[in-house]
């Protein structure tokens, strides 16, 4: 292989991972994840003490057996605060309100890095203390908050950017953070799809039938589908195609829109027909951030132009 060929490949690799981009989509990611987390923890408010309290559904002794020693948990904090007269109940509710405040500051982009780290840590405290009740949405949320810690999510549409005296250097924004998110999603869907392919349930439609009809997920009476087994089979094949094909077709520009909107549609279906609204929402947020930047840029330019025209007409009228 000649030096020119090597240079060409290294240039392509460099452009793939470190091409300069605006990364405005990361502002959407920051705001969307923060708002999602507020609604997520808010939905648990009536059962905070049952899920995370000392006398809740699961006693501390059982959680200690299930959790790794390094996993943060609320009683690390409550055991210290009780020494100065602050009860465990006050600690749990205090953390709840602190978490919402931190997420709000993260959403508006104030000291974004600091409050992203704090939001991730408080989330881990709740996550560890209620681990037995957590499911896929909580694991994905942990990853999203971790990405918010590492990625430059405060560079656009944030108080940090507004208060900066020095203008942001556009060359410092590269596509690398987006690539991390893209590869993460490719791993999720590819291995999720291949694991489904091993059995027969997603080939014969039983996987779709179970997803909609099991008592844990039952939302609507879909029993009429039993009369149309071919429909269930085609739906199962479609899920396999979109999940296994995700890493191969999502990067190709001509098929990207089909796969992106197909996956988003799949998650909307999961939310509607299985009741997993939180999981569906956080996965849609991740997909839009990872592969929807070009559409986000077009929409942001459209709304920016629309607001500029409105402001101009208002000024002319005055």
Question: Both 229 and 269 in a single domain?
Answer: yes
Other Cβ atoms closer than 10 A to 212: 21
Instruction: Judge whether 187 lies within some domain.
Output: yes
Residue 114: the pLDDT is: 94
Domain end residue (candidates: 162, 186, 211) = 162
Low-confidence ranges of the chain (pLDDT < 50): 311-312
Does 13 map to a domain?
Answer: no
Is there a single domain that holds both residue 122 and residue 33? yes
How far apart CA 181 and CA 178 sit, in angstroms, is 5
* Same domain, residue pair 58 and 151: yes
pLDDT of residue 299: 63
Residue 318 lies in a domain: no
Whether 306 and 187 share a structural domain:
yes
In a domain? residue 216: yes
Kindly state the helix (H) or strand (E) to which residue 263 belongs, with its residue range: helix 253-274
Predicted confidence at residue 309, as pLDDT, reads 54
Closest CA to 176 of 142, 156, 147, 199: 147
278 located within any domain: yes
> For the chain, what is the radius of gyration of the CA atoms?
23
In a domain, 141, yes or no: yes
The CA angle 62-65-71, to the nearest 5 degrees, is 110
3 domain-assigned: no
Q: Quote the CA–CA distance of 300 and 175 in Å, as a whole number.
A: 18
* Predicted pLDDT of residue 175: 85
d(CA 241, CA 239) in angstroms, rounded, equals: 5
Do both 36 and 82 map to the same domain?
Answer: yes
Q: Are 115 and 210 in a shared domain?
A: no
Structurally, the chain folds into a number of domains equal to 2
Domain, as residue range, for 199: 174-311
Asked, for residue 17, whether it belongs to a domain, the answer is no
Are 214 and 282 in the same domain?
yes
| Residues 202 and 304 placed together within one structural domain of the fold | yes
How far is 153 from 147, CA to CA, in rounded Å? 9
Q: Are residue 105 and residue 208 in the same domain, yes or no?
A: no
* Predicted pLDDT at 315: 55
CA end-to-end span of the chain: 68
Q: Indicate if 35 and 127 belong to the same structural domain.
A: yes
The confidence score (pLDDT) of residue 281 equals 96
Q: Are residues 182 and 154 in the same domain?
A: no
Question: Looking at 99, 130, 162, which one is the last position of a domain?
Answer: 162
Residue where a domain terminates, one of 162, 186, 202: 162
Same domain, 266 and 138: no
């Amino acid at each position: 292989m000649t030096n020119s060929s090597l240079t060409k490949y290294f240039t392509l690799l460099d452009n793939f991972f470190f091409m300069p981009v605006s990364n405005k989509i990361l502002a959407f990611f920051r705001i969307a994840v923060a708002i999602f987390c507020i609604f997520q923890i808010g939905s648990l408010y009536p059962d905070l003490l049952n899920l995370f309290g000392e006398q809740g559904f699961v006693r501390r002794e059982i959680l200690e057996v299930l959790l790794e020693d390094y996993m943060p948990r609320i009683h690390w904090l409550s055991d210290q605060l009780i020494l100065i007269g602050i009860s465990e109940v006050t600690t749990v509710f205090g953390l709840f309100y602190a978490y919402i405040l931190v997420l709000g500051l993260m959403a508006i982009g104030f000291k974004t890095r600091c409050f992203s780290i704090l939001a991730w840590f408080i989330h881990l405290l709740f996550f560890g203390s209620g681990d037995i009740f957590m499911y896929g949405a909580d694991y994905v949320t942990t990853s999203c908050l971790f990405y918010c810690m590492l990625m430059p999510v405060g560079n656009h549409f944030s108080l940090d950017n507004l208060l900066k005296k020095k203008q942001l250097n556009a060359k410092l924004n590269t596509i690398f953070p987006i690539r991390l998110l893209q590869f993460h999603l490719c791993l999720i869907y590819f291995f999720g799809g291949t694991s489904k392919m091993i059995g027969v349930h997603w080939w014969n439609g039983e996987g779709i039938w179970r997803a909609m009809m099991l008592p844990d997920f039952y939302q609507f009476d879909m029993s009429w589908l039993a009369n149309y087994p071919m429909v269930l089979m085609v739906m199962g094949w479609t899920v396999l195609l979109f999940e296994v094909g995700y890493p191969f077709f999502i990067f190709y520009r001509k098929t990207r829109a089909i796969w992106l909107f197909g996956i988003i549609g799949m998650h909307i279906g999961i939310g509607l027909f299985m009741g997993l609204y939180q999981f569906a929402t956080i996965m849609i947020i991740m997909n839009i951030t990872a592969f929807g930047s070009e559409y986000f840029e077009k929409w942001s330019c459209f709304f920016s132009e629309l607001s500029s025209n409105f402001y101009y007409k208002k000024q002319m009228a005055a």
